[in-house]
Structure 1
Amino acid sequence: MTSNLGLSVLAPDGIPEIRPGDDLAALVVAALAPVDGDVVLVTSKVVSKAEGRLRPGTDRAAAVESELAAPGARVVARRGPTTIVRTRLGLTMAAAGVDASNVEPGSVLLLPADPDGTARLLRREIAARTGANVAVVVTDTAGRAWRTGQTDIAIGAAGLVVLDDHSGRSDRYGNELVVTAPALADELAGAAELAQGKLAGRPFALVRGRADLVLAATEDGPGAAALVRGEGEDLFGYGAREAVVRALAGHPADRPPFGAPASAEEVAAAVAVVLGTAPEPVDGGLAVRPDPRLAPLAFAHGWSVDHGLVASRQEGAEKAVIRPVTP
């Protein structure tokens, strides 16, 4: 049995400038007239404006530093004037998502305080005013590792299947899928941005044709937060330069982005590459000749140096021991 799937995207003109306190739900309903099964997409920019996240001043760097003061926020990488930040929400974005485009001169705009919460509220308000069961996505623009250019992603969502995990399924050739998981919310955000554009003043969009992704009215789902990897789960928790600096500094608070301790086999291979000698297994750890490079190497792999020296069974010389760090 075959099925035909059609998709349409609407992003209307004529949306007025959004001000603090504006009723976004009323504006969305008037502009889009959503019905059951539609996906409503709203840019984070107008959400932030309506929620009063505009800050006076043109010093974007100062606003970024202010965002970095939030619990859980940290610098991932810096390159010249560009600062990549993992925000308090777990989003990894240039300038912590602080934006100076499409805002009044002399001001900058911060990301919404709770994008998933805003999506849930908008969904309820749209249902109350129209009776329609829709999904809502709050979108923002982000760059991507390894790729030039930006695309829109979902930073907030409600009533939507945000991720389609294919693990355990088989393709048409019988191959079992292991890691395939389309980020449906991000794909919808990208589709909407094609119709919205960056400079056309179309902050609202409606995608029709994927009612299968819209959850029951009583179920909001996990939100876009489900698309954020936890600290330590991202293979690129620091930029290349920053990873070297953090490992050399060896501060305990910098451990989480490096992830869980690596296996003994992986650490032994790294030691052999860096120090040019293979370590010996010893009492739950690895023994190798003392070397100033050993501590940062161990730190980067979730291990640490046991400062007690041991005698090598093979050579009789004292050797340093490294062991995995326990929580």
Structure 2
Amino acid sequence: MSLTVSAPDGVPEIRPGDDLADALLGALGPDDLVDGDILVVTSKVVSKAEGRVESGDRESWIDAETDRLVARRGPTRIVRNRLGLTMAAAGVDASNVEQGLVVLLPLDPDASARRLRSAVAERRGVNVGVVVTDTAGRAWREGQTDIAIGAAGIAVLESFAGRLDAHGNELAVTAPAVADEIASAVELAQGKLGARPCAVLRGRADLVLAPGDAGPGASALIRADGADLFGYGAREAVIQAVAARPAARAPFGSTVDAEEFVAALGRAGIAAHAATPVDVRTPRERRAAADIVAFAHGWESAGASDLDTHLRFRPVTP
């Protein structure tokens, strides 16, 4: 198997209202886009063409695009934005734009990808997949990579479920996020400062869907809130558990069973009996700790006062 990535020069500066497909195709020669290719475009030019360029204070726009705070370190905010993406500054970007302006992410990146795919099919008569990308950091790793935030006509996950390796072992990784891998590979050719906002990846026609089949879109790569093991950063998780606001429960995940809850209490130095309700006898100075552990695991005290040291915990009603 061989892959090629071509990132053309010559794409003009995109402004609100511009025909993005026309601008991109103008930089691609007649042989630069054929059936089975994957056209990859940065979210920034998509946003510019769709008029997602705004004036005003960047911090205010981050607030407006934020669904909830995930973590904070100094001035840096990692948030879950209105698209469900977890990223720094909600994806609000003040680079490669005139001073005083910011670029917001597209309102619906999957829909943007579908429109671009349809335009390419109409004007060039070819069936391609389309990926819209943005840059994101990774937990546990330095640096950033590009990821897919929009997609059309492409399988975004490649399932290996049930397949065996050469030694007969069932593969443990069952669904590589190929749309993200494509986004990252293409960014190497585009470059951050190269003024090349689109690229064509050739060699994975097996991922491109039939005409008329848009596929699941990149939104299929977003885990539901609470399904991720890292719904909050370390410090923010402590704050949310101590504050114990009911609306903050979801990112901690679903309620654990009694055995797992008792084990968590034990790791916090609090003895308990694995039953429902869970009985806890704790010194008064450890009462608050028991409530905090309970909140983070989807449990709550059953009618105890703040002074009680014999507590009974029950799972929160879904």
The verdict on a shared fold, with TM-score over 0.5 as the criterion, is yes
**Residue 308 of structure 1, CA deviation:** 5.0
**Residue 264 of structure 1, CA deviation:** 1.8
Query: Superposed, which structure 2 residues align to 1:26-65 within 5 Å?
Result: 26-32=22-28, 33-57=32-56, 59-65=57-63
Query: Superposed, which structure 2 residues align to 1:14-163 within 5 Å?
Result: 14-32=10-28, 33-57=32-56, 59-68=57-66, 73-163=67-157
Match of 1:287 among 279, 289, 306: 279
Instruction: Report the equivalent of 1:175.
Output: 169
Structure 1 CA distance for aligned equivalents of residues 163 and 317 of structure 2: 35
Identity of aligned residues (%): 61
Q: Which runs of 4+ in 1 moved over 6 A?
A: none
Q: Which string of whole-angstrom CA distances, capped at 9 and with x for unpartnered residues, describes residues 33-58 of structure 1? A: 4211010011000001101111113x
**Residue 281 of structure 1, CA deviation:** 3.2
Q: Is the 8 A contact 2:55 2:101 kept in 1?
A: yes
Structure 2 CA distance for aligned equivalents of residues 264 and 299 of structure 1: 13
Where 1:238 maps in the other structure, the secondary structure is: coil
Structure 2 counterpart of 1:131, one-letter code: G
Match of 1:240 among 234, 239, 243: 234
Q: Which runs of 5+ in 2 are unaligned?
A: none
Structure 1 counterpart of 2:122, one-letter code: A
Structure 1 CA distance for aligned equivalents of residues 270 and 246 of structure 2: 27
Query: Superposed, which structure 2 residues align to 1:198-277 within 5 Å?
Result: 198-277=192-271
Structure 1 CA distance for aligned equivalents of residues 112 and 146 of structure 2: 18
TM normalised by structure 2 equals 0.94
Q: Which string of whole-angstrom CA distances, capped at 9 and with x for unpartnered residues, describes residues 274-316 of structure 1? A: 2342x1234x22101152211111010111111259xxxxxxx
Structure 1 CA distance for aligned equivalents of residues 311 and 143 of structure 2: 47
Structure 2 CA distance for aligned equivalents of residues 292 and 79 of structure 1: 26
Q: Which string of whole-angstrom CA distances, capped at 9 and with x for unpartnered residues, describes residues 229-279 of structure 1? A: 1110110000101101111111111111000111222211111122342x1
Structure 1 counterpart of 2:128, one-letter code: V
Structure 1 CA distance for aligned equivalents of residues 45 and 62 of structure 2: 19
Where 2:302 maps in the other structure, the secondary structure is: strand
Instruction: Report the equivalent of 1:322.
Output: 313
**Residue 167 of structure 1, CA deviation:** 2.5
Where 2:303 maps in the other structure, the secondary structure is: strand
Q: Does residue 297 in structure 1 map to residue 293 in structure 2?
A: yes
Structure 2 counterpart of 1:123, one-letter code: R
Where 1:137 maps in the other structure, the secondary structure is: strand
Where 1:175 maps in the other structure, the secondary structure is: coil
Structure 2 counterpart of 1:30, one-letter code: G
Instruction: Report the equivalent of 1:166.
Output: 160
Structure 1 CA distance for aligned equivalents of residues 248 and 270 of structure 2: 27
Q: Which runs of 5+ in 1 are unaligned?
A: 310-316
Structure 2 CA distance for aligned equivalents of residues 67 and 18 of structure 1: 22
Q: Is the 8 A contact 1:76 1:86 kept in 2?
A: yes
TM normalised by structure 1 equals 0.91
Structure 2 CA distance for aligned equivalents of residues 191 and 56 of structure 1: 32
Structure 2 CA distance for aligned equivalents of residues 24 and 210 of structure 1: 24
Where 1:292 maps in the other structure, the secondary structure is: helix
Q: Is the 8 A contact 1:168 1:178 kept in 2?
A: no
Distance 1:318 1:28, change over 3 A: closer
Structure 2 CA distance for aligned equivalents of residues 208 and 257 of structure 1: 39
Q: Which moved more, 1:25-34 or 1:242-251?
A: 25-34
Q: Is the 8 A contact 1:119 1:158 kept in 2?
A: yes
Instruction: Report the equivalent of 2:185.
Output: 191
